[in-house]
Amino acid sequence: MTLGGPSTQELLQELELDPDRPRIVAIGGGHGLSKVLRAALGYAGRVDAVVSVADDGGSSGRLIEHIDIPPPGDLRKCLMALTPDSSVWTQLFEFRFEEADVAGHSLGNLILAALTEVEGGIEPALERAEELLQASGSVIPACNQRLRLVAHVDDERLEGQSMIQRYRGRLDTVEVEPASAAAAPSAIAAIERADQILLGPGSLITSTVAAMRVPGITEAINRSKAQLVYVANLITQDGETLGMDGNDHLDALLRLTGVRPPSAIVAHAQPIDIAEPLTQVTFDPEITATYGADLTTADVVDDEEDWPSHDSGKLGHVLESITR
């Protein structure tokens, strides 16, 4: 922020869509966070995404090997989720190269990398991208530098999102490096102003927990008076959550982050047909009640998708109905 420019608080106020509707902050990363952001747009007065910056795979992983920027992939996905109207800019941000040295790269990732250099940082780059796309919300990195996700199991150290994502078994701890990392001040400000905070859906460890382990994020959630909602995944992932039911997911979330228990949990109601070893994520209501959380089950699956995925419209109706 340049001297004499608008403060973070002023920028947040400028982006307010409807002061009579709730201010929503969704925390995590990847495809799951994109779904919940679209869901929130249907009932929120304002939507902020606080996004993990520990991704080390795909186009993002290739970029951060050569450029000192936070991985742009999840940030780009959230920008697109908050941009419901199609334009030349949305087409450019969604374009993916198929040939030559840039094969596999998302043009949107490259644009964000360029904007980061032009604007002097990832946050001003995202603000400029939001203007270009005419986004209906704000995308905020959990931290303004790229991070490495690290987990420990007994004496074993697992380094990097890709390795942790493939690990089958209970993790003892999850943290981010470097140890000097701190949450972006704008992320803290958004969380503290929220009326409702949404955790999940998405990769439990490598998206949701990854964002929350940035020093300052969970502390801000615990200070906030916002309603805390956990949106459960539909099915397990082969690796980080294989064999875990909904209560196991919740236990891992609380144990690995220190976050306060959610006041509400949203899970899918009907059976999902999925091949082994994957299973549907279901909750035991009696166990859930011991956390002080209200469990809401409803049909939130997108019937048009080939793979189990949340329907943003259905999910939005459920989230709006439980907003206090």
pTM: 0.92
Percent of the chain with pLDDT over 70: 92
Q: How many CA atoms lie within 13 A of 213 on its CB side?
A: 26
Contacts of 162 by beta carbon, 8 Å cutoff, 6+ apart: 56, 57, 61
On the question of pLDDT at 222 being above 80, the answer is: yes
Query: How high is the mean pLDDT of the chain?
Result: 91
Q: What is the pLDDT of residues 102-141, one digit of tens each?
A: 667 789 999 999 999 999 999 999 999 999 999 999 999 9
Identify the pLDDT of residue 14.
47
Q: What is the pLDDT of residues 258-308, one digit of tens each?
A: 999 999 999 999 999 999 999 999 999 999 999 999 999 999 999 999 999
Q: What is the pLDDT of residues 205-221, one digit of tens each?
A: 999 999 999 999 999 99
Contacts of 120 by beta carbon, 8 Å cutoff, 6+ apart: none
Q: Are 197 and 27 in contact (CB under 8 A)?
A: yes
What whole-number distance in Å separates Cα of residue 5 and Cα of residue 24?
A: 25
Domains and CATH numbers, the chain: 8-54+142-322 (3.40.50.10680)
Q: What is the pLDDT of residues 232-261, one digit of tens each?
A: 999 999 999 999 999 999 999 999 999 999
Kindly give the residue spans of alpha helices, DSSP state H, lying in the chain: 8-14, 30-41, 58-64, 73-81, 88-94, 107-119, 122-133, 161-166, 185-193, 210-212, 217-223, 246-257, 285-289, 312-322
Identify the pLDDT of residue 285.
94
Q: What is the pLDDT of residues 149-175, one digit of tens each?
A: 999 999 999 999 999 999 999 999 999
Identify the pLDDT of residue 20.
86
Identify the pLDDT of residue 11.
42
Q: Mean pLDDT, to the nearest integer, of 87-99? A: 90
Going by the DSSP 8-state scheme, the letter that residue 210 receives in this structure is H
